[in-house]
């Protein structure tokens, strides 16, 4: 199965083959049951990433068809089924928590209104609190409380009324943009400051600027434009890769 997934990754025409489709679906089924993981402890204090399993997750999308799913009065239209049989799994799920098929939830997991994506592994004794998200292929260990609003995977950026983020811009984790936020382009020989707009293709990270108060000088939040997305960057590439191009930790 491993070898077949790798071959299909290099040759996407193989996604038409029934054998390949069945192999991908088997991987996702085993992820759903916790038999396979996209990453796992290596026994020496580190982690081993199973790239071939992650590739199967990615290729699961093109082999699936869009369909309508009805849950009581709610309707969804997606390619990935919702996880089922929570009572048998020993998992408590509070409305409106969502977990996708292909995610593993260990017995004793509690999902408050939250989201768990395909490929994620949530070990025993976990509470995923309100509006927390466990991203695709994220790995959560035993007896962890993911507090309200926590995001595992992806970036937590905040954009409020009065700000326009233009086409193909990338906002790093913890960027906060309000109408009064100082947005400073630091890519040239002198800083260029603006408010209320992030220009197209900008790569933005959080920063601070000094400001004097009666009690002294302190750093206040701002947003720094540190570069532009390269024309060579494939639009399908993750936003994290766009940040890594500028040596930003993600």
Structural domains in the chain plus CATH codes: 2-63 (1.10.166.10), 67-152 (2.160.10.10), 158-244 (2.160.10.10)
pLDDT at 233 over 80: no
- Residue % of the chain over a pLDDT of 90: 77
Lowest-pLDDT choice from 6-10, 89-93, 229-233: 229-233
Of 248, 42, 38, 245, give the one whose Cα is nearest residue 135.
Answer: 38
What is the pLDDT at residue 249? 60
The residue ranking higher by pLDDT, 157 or 122, is 122
- 246 pLDDT tier (thresholds 50, 70, 90): confident
Residue 247 has pLDDT above 80, yes or no: no
Q: Give me the phi and psi of 90, to 5 degrees please.
A: 75, 35
Q: Average model confidence (pLDDT) for the chain?
A: 92
pLDDT at position 181? 95
Percentage with pLDDT > 70 across the chain: 93
Please name the residues in contact with 56: beta carbons below 8 A apart, sequence gap of 6 or more: 5, 23, 24, 27, 28
What pLDDT sits at residue 236?
Answer: 46
d(CA 94, CA 112): 5
What local confidence, expressed as pLDDT, does residue 250 receive?
A: 56
For residue 212, the cross-strand partners are 217
204-228 average pLDDT score: 96
- Measured in degrees and rounded to the nearest 5, phi and psi for residue 211 equal -145, 135
* 10 vs 7: CA distance, rounded Å: 5
pLDDT for res 239: 62
Predicted structure pTM score: 0.79
Band (215; pLDDT cuts 50, 70, 90): very high
């Amino acid at each position: 199965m491993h070898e077949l997934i790798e071959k299909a990754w290099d040759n996407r025409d193989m996604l038409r083959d029934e054998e390949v489709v069945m192999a991908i679906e088997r991987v996702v089924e085993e992820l759903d049951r916790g038999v396979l993981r996209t990453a796992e402890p290596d026994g020496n204090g580190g982690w081993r990433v199973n790239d071939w399993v992650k590739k199967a997750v990615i290729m699961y999308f093109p082999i699936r068809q869009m369909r309508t799913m009805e849950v009581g009065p709610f309707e969804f239209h997606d390619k990935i089924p919702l996880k089922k049989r929570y009572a048998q799994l020993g998992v408590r799920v509070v409305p409106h928590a969502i977990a996708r098929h292909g995610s593993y939830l260990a017995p004793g997991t509690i999902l408050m209104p939250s989201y768990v994506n395909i490929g994620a592994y949530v070990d025993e004794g976990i509470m995923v609190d309100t509006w927390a998200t466990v991203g695709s292929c994220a790995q959560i260990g035993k007896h962890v409380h993911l507090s309200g609003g926590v995001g595992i995977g992806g970036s937590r950026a905040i954009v409020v009324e009065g700000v326009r983020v233009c086409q193909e811009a990338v906002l790093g984790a913890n960027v906060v943009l309000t109408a009064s936020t100082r947005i400073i382009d630091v890519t040239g020989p002198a800083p260029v400051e603006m408010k209320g707009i992030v220009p197209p293709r900008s790569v933005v990270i959080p920063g601070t600027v000094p400001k004097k108060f009666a009690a002294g000088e302190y750093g206040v939040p701002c947003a720094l434009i540190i570069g532009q997305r390269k024309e060579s960057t494939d639009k399908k590439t993750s936003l994290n890769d766009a940040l890594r191009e500028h040596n930003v930790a993600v």
